[in-house]
Amino acid sequence: MPDYVDVNRANWDERVPAHAASPDYGVALFDDPTHLSDVVRFDRPRLGDVAGLRGVHLQCHIGTDTVSLARLGAHMTGLDFSAPAIEVARRLAVRAGADVAFVQAELFDAPAVLKRESFDLVYTGVGALCWIPSVERWAGVVSELLRPGGRLFIREGHPVLWATADRLPDGLLVLDHPYFEVPGGTRFVTAGTYVATDVAFAHNTTVEWNHGLGEIVTALLDHGLDLTMLVEHDSVPWDALPGHMADIGAGEYRLIDRPERLPHSYTLSAVKRA
């Protein structure tokens, strides 16, 4: 496995218990059989009817969105490279009474461990693409998993947001990180995580990549997927610029000062050519 996989997996493995215990992920809320994650609730108007679809959720983390999609009637498989995340996801599915298959695997191994061209829906996003060093290879994985006519649905942090400096002097939006995909990625050292927790973590290094919107669209077109939706949003489902964003409800955050300056996130849908 390349170095970035081990570095990032150590970081993720260690954060799983804090995420599973956090009100932000709301695992206990799934005891209510009608509960859906905020992320899937946000997606619903664009997602359409998923009942009966064979779906795979790539980088499913602890399965809150995967189980939510199953509750909407999709036959879901979740894939993630973190064993603790998959363990929590399996327990959540049992607790929620959802029939979901969870598979522990690295993203680029997905076509080898899952059935190729067998899915009607590939669902992913909300902090998923930034862990992948090549959006071109990622699009190849998506294409290999989809049956002809099957659909990719992704809502993700906007590459302009990922490129924005974490500190905003004088409230100005400053581009400080790469917008385009760069070889080797960017190494970050971050003590905490994106949910509130008192846990002191030992593995704080990550290697991450941004991917420009054009790079994402081009990679999908090159791998035989046609774009059917590209919507940019003025909110994002986590506090991406702490101290500068307001919680606007339903799990969404928005820049406090002139949010119209910043594309916060986007939803993209694409269909694999027959």
Rounded least distance, CB 170 to ligand SAM, Å: 30
By CB under 6 A, residue 85 contacts ligand SAM: yes
By CB under 6 A, residue 8 contacts ligand SAM: yes
CB nearer ligand SAM, residue 64 or residue 164 = 64
What mask, x for binding ligand SAM by CB under 6 A, covers residues 149 to 188? ----------------------------------------
By CB under 6 A, residue 10 contacts ligand SAM: no
Task: Give the range of 5-13, 28-36, 93-101, 138-146 binding ligand SAM by CB under 6 A.
Answer: 5-13
Rounded least distance, CB 136 to ligand SAM, Å: 15
Rounded least distance, CB 223 to ligand SAM, Å: 18
The residues facing 78 across adjacent strands are 57, 102
Structure tokens at 52: 């009966």
CB nearer ligand SAM, residue 151 or residue 155 = 155
What mask, x for binding ligand SAM by CB under 6 A, covers residues 113 to 152? -------------xxx--x---------------------
Binder of ligand SAM out of 40, 67, 93, 107 (CB under 6 A): 107
Alpha-carbon distance 60 to 189, whole Å?
A: 23
By CB under 6 A, residue 82 contacts ligand SAM: yes
The residues facing 122 across adjacent strands are 56, 152
CB nearer ligand SAM, residue 82 or residue 269 = 82
List interacting residues with ligand SAM (CB under 6 A). 5, 8, 12, 59, 61, 64-65, 80-82, 85, 106-107, 126-128, 131
